[in-house]
Amino acid sequence: MRFDDQVVFITGAGNGIGAATARRVHGEGGIVAIADHDHSAAERLARELGVRALALNCDVTDRASVDAAIDTVRSRHGRLDQLILVAGGSAPMPGFAEQEDQLWQQLIDLNLVGVMRCIRAALPLLQQSPRAAVVAVSSVNGLAAFGEESYGAAKAGLSNLVRNLAVRHGPDKITFNVVAPGTVRTRVWDHQPGSLQRLRQFYPLGRVGEPEDIAAAVCFLASDDARWITGVTLPVDGGALAGPLQWFDRAFS
């Protein structure tokens, strides 16, 4: 019961990694604010969890929406203990030379500036909590060259943002960390049949990730088990950054 009586705000919590994280936090005793721009998905999950779950409409690209969601938590509970930031995403991109400024700005706004908006809005409440933690979900794309330059650049910026905040707010006893997943089985792959089967060959552990794999790491970093860990980016990637087996075999055969 690592989150017993803790108030936990989770963005992107209606589906996928966010929903798996909300279920785990709730299962460990947490009071969960399920924040998502897909309000119907947030409401479905809140009904599933029942007691100690609150659905919130929250678009991280809109400051007023973020501020209103945090204000609702303040009004309802009077405090906030953990902030978990899952909302983000990528989009199909042309070749680098054909990428328009607007698409870059949209992806950076969603994946980097949106995280800043949430932290900025939540910080006054977090500074009042004796167990405050912030965990952002990034991607291995922010740690190595996997294409998708705009998405990768935003995720790389996220790690630097969190490191800076970890130092700035260390005296407040707030921890700031990042989890960087590899490929995870979420609904974005539903219309790409065979893709996950093909991608598994690039993972030394022989499979892509499940949302619960990422939720486990997020909840560790958000809990008291990680009270002396701050400013880190933790890859949760099935060994992808270490290198796939076929590359190893080519190098040493």
Catalytic residues: 151
Q: Tell me the C-alpha distance between 145 and 231, whole Å.
A: 22
**How many degrees, rounded to 5, is the angle at CA 170 between CA 21 and CA 132?**
35
**Partner residues linked to 176 by β-bridges:** 134
Q: Output the CA–CA distances (angstroms, integers) from residue 154 to 74, 143, 242, 244, in the order listed.
A: 29, 11, 22, 25
Q: Note whether 66 and 42 are within 8 A (CB).
A: no
Can you read off the two tokens belonging to residue 79? Answer: 């405090």
Q: Where are the beta strands (DSSP E) in the chain?
A: 7-11, 31-36, 53-57, 82-85, 133-137, 175-181, 233-236
Residues in CB range of 170: below 8 A, 6 or more apart: 230
Q: Tell me the C-alpha distance between 190 and 186, whole Å.
A: 8
- CA torsion sign, 181 to 186 to 191 to 192? positive
Q: Tell me the C-alpha distance between 42 and 76, whole Å.
A: 17
